[in-house]
């Protein structure tokens, strides 16, 4: 059997995630990523080849698996402006639910993304929230603290020099989480797709992108 490489692609027209296999001879033409990684005490991110999605398996029998088939950017996200700083979060699960409403009645589903300007006073007022930047973005977007529910997610940031950062202690490496590995960074699977979504957001804006990602 011919060896193959695997990659995960995000389709902006459908919001779907697609796992594909390519012969090793084509590897120099694609982005190859690790398809699963488990931590010392955390869960695993896996992209099954026969199903176009990411599955997060918790290392706990009392927790539900998380199935991420689409990613959706919120209209509560700010418009991109060069030389500004932005914090973003992607939410996978909320109190074991794949669909929920937050304290300010925001309707969310697994794969919900919000990106906000961390230089704005709206976000700065919540800097006492966990993790400073990502906790503040979550509080400003959803009207509640991340500590008020069991939130499974990851955090990222876009710096004023357009640097895409993937570390977050409050979302990507929360203490005692059954859904994350030992690292503070986003998993490679989600990072690859979220990077693409951020590029669409920077040029198209959150509400236009929301329409094509339904």
* pLDDT, tens digit, 9 for 90 and up, residues 78-125: 999 888 999 999 999 999 999 999 999 999 999 999 999 999 999 999
Poorest-confidence range of 55-59, 143-147, 199-203? 55-59
Under the banding of pLDDT at 50, 70 and 90, the label for residue 2 is very low
Does any domain span residue 13?
Answer: no
Does any domain span residue 133?
Answer: yes
pTM here is: 0.74
Cα–Cα distance, 186 to 20 (Å, whole number): 21
Does any domain span residue 148?
Answer: yes
Cα–Cα distance, 62 to 160 (Å, whole number): 41
160 alpha-carbon distance from chain centroid: 20
**Residues forming beta bridges with residue 18, ordered by sequence position:** 9
**Residues forming beta bridges with residue 27, ordered by sequence position:** none
Residues 6+ apart with CB under 8 A from 3: 23, 24
Does any domain span residue 176?
Answer: yes
Q: What is the pLDDT of residue 206?
A: 65
Strand, helix or coil for residue 21: strand
Does any domain span residue 22?
Answer: no
Does any domain span residue 159?
Answer: yes
Q: What is the pLDDT of residue 91?
A: 92
Could you read off the pLDDT of 180-191 as tens digits, one per residue?
666 778 888 788
Q: How many structural domains is the chain composed of?
A: 1
Does any domain span residue 1?
Answer: no
Tokens of 13: 């027209």
Q: What is the pLDDT of the chain when averaged over all its residues? A: 75
Residue 13 confidence (pLDDT) above 80? no
Residue 103: give the domain boundaries: 73-204
Does any domain span residue 214?
Answer: no
- Of residues 67 and 3, more confidence is placed in 67
Strand, helix or coil for residue 143: coil
25 burial level (CB within 10 Å; 0-12, 13-18, 19+): exposed
Cα–Cα distance, 96 to 62 (Å, whole number): 10
Could you read off the pLDDT of 192-204 as tens digits, one per residue?
888 888 888 888 7
């Amino acid at each position: 059997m011919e060896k193959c490489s695997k990659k995960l692609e995000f389709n902006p027209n459908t919001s779907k995630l697609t796992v594909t296999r390519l012969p090793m001879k084509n590897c120099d033409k694609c982005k190859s990523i690790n398809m699963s990684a488990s931590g010392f005490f955390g869960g695993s991110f896996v992209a099954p080849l026969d199903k176009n999605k990411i599955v997060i398996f918790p290392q706990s029998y009392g927790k539900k698996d998380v199935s991420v088939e689409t990613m959706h950017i919120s209209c509560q996200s700010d418009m991109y402006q060069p030389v500004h700083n932005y914090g973003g979060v992607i939410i996978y699960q909320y109190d074991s639910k794949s669909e929920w409403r937050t304290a300010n009645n925001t309707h969310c589903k697994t794969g919900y993304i919000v990106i906000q300007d961390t230089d704005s006073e709206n976000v700065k007022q919540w800097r006492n929230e966990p993790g400073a930047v990502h906790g503040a973005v979550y509080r400003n977007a959803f009207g509640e603290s991340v500590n008020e529910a069991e939130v499974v997610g990851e955090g990222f940031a876009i710096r004023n020099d357009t640097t895409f950062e993937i570390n977050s202690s409050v979302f990507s490496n929360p203490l005692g989480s059954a859904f994350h590995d030992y690292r503070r960074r986003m998993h490679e699977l989600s990072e690859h797709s979220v990077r693409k979504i951020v590029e669409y957001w920077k040029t198209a804006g959150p509400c236009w992108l929301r329409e094509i990602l339904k």
